[in-house]
């Protein structure tokens, strides 16, 4: 029920101003100059934001121009199709069942050995005084045997603290995480999955046992949501993922699923 | 009677703009500087404040949006239904619900990150956490972007809805498209609805206002309705149906007799039957329009039949609701008119208004509220005790006195005159009537009050004629005296040598005076600000003048007399004007030059030449005095420039001038910043 058509109504009844079109044309022509003046004079955050916006505009403009000129472009047809095989190999089969089996066995052996192919093979070593903070205790605050973990941790569902008098490592509640944002590397989508445990922390076995999560840690996540099924027909509900960010700086754990 | 004003809703910004607004607000309104070296708690506090502030801003802005948009359950059902038709209730509610969820999510994010910030042990870590927090909040807002866009559209549309008051007196016009509804509303109100030959020109409800019996009536023009079942109706038709369903109004159902709208009378009658349920409890009038093309009388028989049936049904409706209905007067239900020739238009309006008014008054009388009103008004009449007549009792004497005073009134009062001549605003009193003058004819004379910028009243004197005679006599006397003295020639060749000398002396003196005056004017700076008082020893008296004149060999008596008569202490100044006139004849008289000068400058002190050596002063000659004068002037220049009144003046006006005691010193000392 638009009642804002009074403008059109007026135009229908009385027409345009005598100089309307000329003024409009001139105003639009001036817009270009105004915009460029602004772009040149704007300083500070305003200037940066405008520059960013303008850059995005220009990029899309360039793309569309390139698209439009696609017709006149010439392409070399030099590519080879995926899976194309030279003539002398045509008769052979690519992989046989035996090969598949042997690959599975090799993987199992690797698993046993604890060697993994992970997205982040090397991580920055973290020193102990970066990881732990000394907590003074005692009547005169002279005892310094307690430590507080300063990184993100995972403690598990049934976790109960040791009596405060005896606990050496304090894992504060504010830094305990239960969920991780896990990305599937092939599907390229991210899921918010619950963690089951910390498998290995590259900085040392002590950190693994404490459950500290830093960049490069391998964690186990609950993937029952994804509905993955083994070739045998069993439902997969836990998979490993490697952490790719610094959780204490971002407030969340981002990981990549290890397939 | 709440008049819904949907124009006051604040603009809903788009997702990106929202984020920009909030973030720039955070940047401006929170402190911006933090360094690595600050204490960790200070750093933490800095970043926590930013996170909280952003959350607060989001919360405020989202809350205003959520509160300002009307809730469809809380507005009048007419508006609720209207908005459902226009905006789809579900979509509307969903959009607002999404905003609500976003608000809660942002709050949660803020809480989480503020908790994490407490464990930040370095500036870098706190900064990253703050970035993460703000980034997450902005992502939430970006996801809500489409809802914001939708709500902005809704807001713009809502602001332009016509302001229909659902509770006041309303007339609703309905019928097929192109039947003449918009022309009718254009005729009776100032609404300027578009009228075009194609169907569905009116695509929305239009409101106009008209007056009847000193009351304001709303007239609502609806888009045309076609005859198909409710489910098949499009949005525009649904608007009319909504209006019909929810507004308690008088309904005017328009029928086009000529068929120029493109639909036959049978079709229009069918429409009437199908929407009859909507006319319940509403005064209904069937209006036959376009009678200039096809009058009702010359209508074909079968069509006339249809019209009669419609009339009966309409009157049945009417009879159902009103107690004092018009059952026998069927014409109340069916009226004819033509908007082109304008005949019958006003009749239709009046009939509709009357019917609605009656109905409303009846309803009000039956309701409970009216009894409160009635209870407050109570006209008390004393109950008659018996049937005896008791007229008022006036004593006889009073009656006689009244009769007499009425008879006495032969004299015409001013009031009567006023009433005769046109009344209070028209008649103006003639104030000259009662003047007491020597000659009666002078009463109506026009006497001016101001001439040449002067008030005549100032100059009018009681004995002005006497004075005039005196003046004339004096002047005659003077003229004679002048004639008598005119034996002496006034030309210069016949002057005696002594007279020539005296003349020369006088001339030199005059010149000197002039020069000195000019000198004084140019060297105003070097003059002491407090002038030397002339004659502070009071030695220039009239007796001295007399002696001086005698020593020169002249008769002083006339001069002395004049001086005495003209001393300011003796008489008022006005008198002196007459005596000055006399002197003008003697202006050039050589015998008494000083008299003239004296006469001119009565109250002004005549200063002597500064450098003239007066015998008693102690100077050798004029040259020495001149030198002394020069030295004195030079010395006083500096004092004058410092506004000192004399050498002994050590007053400091401003002991602590601000420019010496405030501000930073660039170079120089404090006493000359």
3-state secondary structure B192-253: CCCCCCCCCCCCCCEEEEEEECCEEEEEEECCCCCCCCHHHCCHHHHHHHHHHHHCCCEEEE
| H or E element in which residue B34 lies | none
Which pair of tokens denotes residue B573? 């100044």
- pLDDT value for A249: 94
> Cα separation of A212 and A123, whole Å?
15
Which pair of tokens denotes residue B398? 């009073």
**Across the beta sheet with B284-289, what order do the strands follow?**
B206-212, B215-221, B170-175, B250-256, B284-289, B334-336
For chain B, how many residues are written? 673
Task: Report whether B65 contacts B99 (CB < 8 A).
Answer: yes
> Cα separation of B233 and B241, whole Å?
9
B156 in contact with A, Cβ within 8 Å: yes
Give me the residue from A3, A45, A172 closest to B162, CB to CB. Answer: A3
| Residues pairing with B219 in the sheet | B171, B208
Residue A45: partners with Cβ closer than 8 Å, 6 or more residues away: B24, B27
* Tens digits of residue pLDDT in B622-644: 899 999 989 988 988 888 888 88
* Tens digits of residue pLDDT in B472-485: 999 999 999 888 87
pLDDT above 50: residue B619: yes
> Cα separation of B179 and B259, whole Å?
9
B194 in contact with A, Cβ within 8 Å: yes
Q: How far is B51 from chain A (nearest CA, A)?
A: 13
Give whole-number Cα distances, B539 to B68, B320, B535, B543, B601, in Å.
95, 121, 6, 10, 17
Report which of residues A42 and B331 the model is more confident about. Answer: A42
pLDDT above 70: residue B466: yes
B640 in contact with A, Cβ within 8 Å: no
* Chain B residues within 8 A of A172 when measuring between CB atoms: 119
Chain B nearest-CA residue for A252: B132
Which pair of tokens denotes residue B45? 């506090």
Q: How far is B137 from chain A (nearest CA, A)?
A: 13
Task: Report whether B257 contacts B265 (CB < 8 A).
Answer: yes
Residue A115 CA to its chain's centroid (Å): 25
> Cα separation of B89 and A60, whole Å?
38
Please give the backbone phi and psi of residue B210, each rounded to the nearest 5 degrees, phi first: -140, 170
Give whole-number Cα distances, B27 to A79, B57, B63, in Å.
53, 12, 21
* Chain B residues within 8 A of A150 when measuring between CB atoms: 119, 121
- pLDDT value for A184: 92
Which pair of tokens denotes residue B418? 């006023």
Residue B568: partners with Cβ closer than 8 Å, 6 or more residues away: B602, B603
**DSSP secondary structure code for residue B492 in this structure:** G
For chain A, how many residues are written? 259
* Tens digits of residue pLDDT in B170-206: 999 988 888 888 888 888 888 888 888 888 888 888 8
B30: left (phi over 0), alpha (psi -120 to 50) or beta: beta
> Cα separation of B242 and B87, whole Å?
14
> Cα separation of B630 and B641, whole Å?
17
Task: Report whether A236 contacts A223 (CB < 8 A).
Answer: yes
Q: Residue B594's pLDDT band (boundaries 50, 70, 90)?
A: very low
CB pairs under 8 A between A and B: 51
B23 in contact with A, Cβ within 8 Å: no
The bridge status of strand A238-243 relative to strand A218-222 is antiparallel
Report which of residues B301 and B331 the model is more confident about. Answer: B301
Residue B401 CA to its chain's centroid (Å): 58
Q: How far is B177 from chain A (nearest CA, A)?
A: 17
> Cα separation of A23 and A7, whole Å?
18
Please give the backbone phi and psi of residue B169, each rounded to the nearest 5 degrees, phi first: -65, 125
Burial readout B221-257 (b: 16 or more C-beta within 10 A, e: otherwise): bbbbbbeeeeeebeebbbbbbbbbebbbbbbbbbbbb
Measuring CA to CA, which residue among A243, A253, A242, A240 is closest to residue A176? A253
Domains and CATH numbers, chain B: 6-157 (1.20.120.1190), 163-369 (3.40.50.300)
* Chain B residues within 8 A of A252 when measuring between CB atoms: 132
Task: Report whether B141 contacts B185 (CB < 8 A).
Answer: no
| H or E element in which residue B585 lies | none
Q: Do A249 and B124 touch (CB under 8 A)?
A: yes
> Cα separation of B17 and B132, whole Å?
20
B14 in contact with A, Cβ within 8 Å: no
* Chain B residues within 8 A of A1 when measuring between CB atoms: 82, 86, 157, 161, 203-205, 239
Give me the residue from B121, B129, B161 closest to A3, CB to CB. Answer: B161
Nearest 5 degrees, angle CA A96-CA A97-CA A98? 90
**DSSP secondary structure code for residue B370 in this structure:** H
Give me the residue from B113, B121, B160 closest to A2, CB to CB. Answer: B160
Q: Do B204 and A172 touch (CB under 8 A)?
A: no
pLDDT above 50: residue B112: yes
pLDDT above 90: residue B344: no
* Chain A residues within 8 A of B202 when measuring between CB atoms: none
The pTM score is: 0.62
ipTM of model: 0.80
Q: Do B132 and A252 touch (CB under 8 A)?
A: yes
Q: Residue B607's pLDDT band (boundaries 50, 70, 90)?
A: low
B305 in contact with A, Cβ within 8 Å: no
Task: Report whether B95 contacts B147 (CB < 8 A).
Answer: yes
B204 in contact with A, Cβ within 8 Å: yes
Task: Look at residue B671 and give its three-state secondary structure.
Answer: helix
Those of residues 224-253 in B touching chain A at CB distance below 8 A are 239
| Residues pairing with A146 in the sheet | A135
Q: Do B115 and A49 touch (CB under 8 A)?
A: no
Task: Report whether B258 contacts B294 (CB < 8 A).
Answer: yes
* Tens digits of residue pLDDT in B49-66: 999 999 999 999 999 999
pLDDT in tens, chain A (259 residues): 556 678 888 898 899 999 999 999 999 999 999 999 999 999 988 899 999 999 999 999 999 999 988 888 777 777 777 777 778 877 776 666 677 778 888 878 877 776 667 888 889 999 998 999 999 999 999 999 999 999 999 999 999 999 989 999 999 999 999 999 999 998 899 999 999 999 999 999 999 999 999 999 999 999 998 888 888 888 989 999 999 999 999 999 999 999 7
Chain A nearest-CA residue for B195: A9
Q: How far is B243 from chain A (nearest CA, A)?
A: 13
Assign 3-state DSSP to chain B and report helix, strand, coil percentages, each to 5: 55, 5, 40
Q: How far apart are the first and last CA of chain A?
A: 57
Give the number of other CB atoms < 10 A from CB of residue B627.
12
Q: Residue B667's pLDDT band (boundaries 50, 70, 90)?
A: confident
Burial of B290 (0-12, 13-18, 19+ CB in 10 A): buried
B86 in contact with A, Cβ within 8 Å: yes
Task: Report whether A230 contacts A239 (CB < 8 A).
Answer: no
- pLDDT value for B146: 95
Report which of residues B298 and B535 the model is more confident about. Answer: B298
Report which of residues B79 and A86 the model is more confident about. Answer: B79
Calculate the average pLDDT of chain B.
83
- pLDDT value for B54: 97
Chain A nearest-CA residue for B157: A2
- pLDDT value for B342: 85
| Residues pairing with A220 in the sheet | A197, A240
The bridge status of strand A212-213 relative to strand A190-200 is unpaired
Which sign does the torsion angle of CA A107, A110, A114, A119 carry? negative
Q: Do A1 and B204 touch (CB under 8 A)?
A: yes
Dihedral, A62, A64, A66, A68 alpha carbons, nearest 10: -150
* Tens digits of residue pLDDT in B276-304: 888 888 888 888 888 888 887 888 888 88
- pLDDT value for B600: 47
Give me the residue from A2, A175, A251 closest to B157, CB to CB. Answer: A2
Q: Which one of A131, A251, A253 makes the best mutation probe of the B interface by having the most chain B beta carbons within 10 Å?
A: A251
* Tens digits of residue pLDDT in B251-278: 899 888 887 888 888 888 888 888 888 8
* Chain B residues within 8 A of A9 when measuring between CB atoms: 194
> Cα separation of B74 and B93, whole Å?
13
Which sign does the torsion angle of CA B559, B565, B566, B569 carry? positive
């Amino acid at each position: 029920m638009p009642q804002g058509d009074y403008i059109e109504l007026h135009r229908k009844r009385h027409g345009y101003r005598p100089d309307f079109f000329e003024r409009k044309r001139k105003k639009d022509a001036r817009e270009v100059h105004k915009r460029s003046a602004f772009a040149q004079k704007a300083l500070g955050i305003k200037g940066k934001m405008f520059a960013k916006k303008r850059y995005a505009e220009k990029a899309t403009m360039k793309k569309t121009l390139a698209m439009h000129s696609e017709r006149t472009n010439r392409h070399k047809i030099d590519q080879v199709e995926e899976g194309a095989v030279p003539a002398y190999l045509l008769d052979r089969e690519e992989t046989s069942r035996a090969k598949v089996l042997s690959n599975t066995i090799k993987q199992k052996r690797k698993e046993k050995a604890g060697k993994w192919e992970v997205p982040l093979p090397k991580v920055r070593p973290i020193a102990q005084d970066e990881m732990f903070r000394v907590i003074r205790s005692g009547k005169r605050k002279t005892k310094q045997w307690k430590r507080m973990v300063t990184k993100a941790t995972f403690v598990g569902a049934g976790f109960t603290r040791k009596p405060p008098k005896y606990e050496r490592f304090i894992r504060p509640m504010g830094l305990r995480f239960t969920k991780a944002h896990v990305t599937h590397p092939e599907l390229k989508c991210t899921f918010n999955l619950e963690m089951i445990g910390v498998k290995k922390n590259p900085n040392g076995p002590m950190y693994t046992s404490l459950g500290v999560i830093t960049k490069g840690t391998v964690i186990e996540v609950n993937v029952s949501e994804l509905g993955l099924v083994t070739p045998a027909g069993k439902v997969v509900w836990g998979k490993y993922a490697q952490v790719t960010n610094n959780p204490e700086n971002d407030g969340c754990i981002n990981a990549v699923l290890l397939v | 009677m709440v008049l819904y004003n949907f124009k006051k809703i604040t603009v809903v910004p788009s997702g990106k703009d929202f984020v920009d607004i909030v973030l720039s607000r955070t940047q401006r309104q929170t402190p911006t500087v933090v360094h690595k070296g600050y204490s960790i708690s200070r750093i933490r506090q800095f970043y926590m404040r930013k996170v909280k502030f952003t959350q607060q801003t989001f919360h405020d802005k989202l809350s205003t949006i959520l509160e300002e948009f009307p809730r469809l359950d809380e507005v009048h059902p007419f508006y609720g239904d209207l908005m459902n038709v226009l905006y789809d209730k579900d979509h509307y509610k969903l959009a607002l619900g999404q905003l609500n969820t976003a608000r809660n999510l942002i709050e949660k994010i803020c809480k989480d990150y503020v908790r994490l910030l407490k464990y930040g042990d370095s500036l870098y870590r706190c900064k990253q956490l703050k970035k993460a927090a703000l980034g997450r909040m902005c992502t939430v807002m970006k996801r809500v972007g489409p809802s914001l866009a939708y709500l902005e559209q809704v807001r713009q549309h809502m602001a332009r809805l016509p302001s229909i008051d659902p509770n006041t007196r309303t007339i609703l016009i309905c019928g097929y498209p192109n039947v003449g509804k918009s022309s009718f509303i254009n005729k009776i109100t100032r609404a300027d609805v578009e009228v075009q030959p194609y169907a569905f020109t009116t695509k929305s409800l239009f409101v106009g206002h008209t007056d009847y019996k000193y009351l304001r009536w709303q007239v609502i023009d609806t888009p045309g309705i076609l005859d198909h079942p409710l489910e098949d109706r499009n949005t525009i038709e649904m608007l009319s149906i909504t209006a019909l369903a929810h507004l308690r109004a008088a309904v005017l159902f328009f029928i086009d007799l000529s068929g120029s709208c493109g639909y036959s009378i049978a079709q229009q009658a069918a429409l009437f039957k199908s929407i009859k349920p909507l006319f319940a409890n509403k005064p209904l009038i069937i209006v036959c329009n376009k009678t200039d093309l096809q009058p009702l009388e010359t209508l074909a028989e079968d069509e006339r039949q249809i019209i009669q049936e419609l009339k009966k049904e309409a009157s049945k409706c009417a009879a159902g609701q009103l107690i004092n209905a018009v059952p026998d007067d069927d014409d109340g239900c069916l009226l004819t008119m033509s908007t082109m020739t304008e005949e019958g238009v006003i009749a239709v309006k009046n009939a509709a208004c009357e019917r609605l008014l009656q109905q409303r008054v009846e309803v009000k009388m039956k309701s409970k509220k009216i009894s409160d009103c009635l209870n407050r008004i109570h006209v008390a009449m004393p109950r008659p005790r018996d049937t005896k007549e008791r007229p008022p009792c006036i004593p006889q004497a009073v009656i006689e006195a009244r009769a007499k005073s009425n008879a006495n009134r032969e004299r015409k009062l001013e009031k009567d005159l006023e009433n005769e001549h046109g009344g209070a605003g028209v008649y103006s009193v003639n104030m000259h009537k009662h003047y007491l003058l020597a000659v009666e004819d002078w009463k109506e004379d026009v006497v001016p009050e101001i001439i040449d910028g002067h008030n005549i009243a100032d100059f009018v004197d009681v004995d002005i004629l006497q004075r005039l005679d005196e003046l004339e006599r004096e002047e005659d006397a003077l003229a004679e005296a002048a004639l008598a003295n005119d034996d002496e020639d006034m030309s210069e060749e016949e002057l005696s040598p002594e007279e020539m000398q005296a003349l020369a002396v006088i001339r030199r003196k005059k010149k000197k005076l002039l020069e000195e005056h000019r000198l004084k004017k140019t060297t105003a700076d070097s003059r002491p600000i407090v002038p030397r008082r002339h004659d502070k020893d009071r030695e220039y008296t009239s007796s001295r003048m007399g002696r001086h004149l005698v020593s020169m060999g002249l008769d002083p008596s006339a001069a002395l007399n004049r001086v005495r008569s003209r001393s300011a202490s003796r008489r008022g100044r006005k008198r002196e004007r007459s005596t000055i006139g006399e002197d003008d004849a003697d202006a050039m008289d050589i015998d008494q030059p000083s008299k003239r000068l004296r006469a001119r400058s009565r109250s002004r002190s005549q200063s002597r030449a500064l450098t003239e050596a007066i015998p008693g002063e102690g100077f050798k000659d004029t040259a020495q005095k001149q030198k002394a004068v020069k030295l004195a002037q030079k010395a006083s220049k500096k004092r004058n420039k410092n506004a000192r009144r004399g050498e002994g003046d050590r007053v400091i006006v401003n002991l602590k001038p601000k420019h010496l005691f405030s501000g930073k010193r660039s170079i120089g000392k404090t006493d000359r910043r």
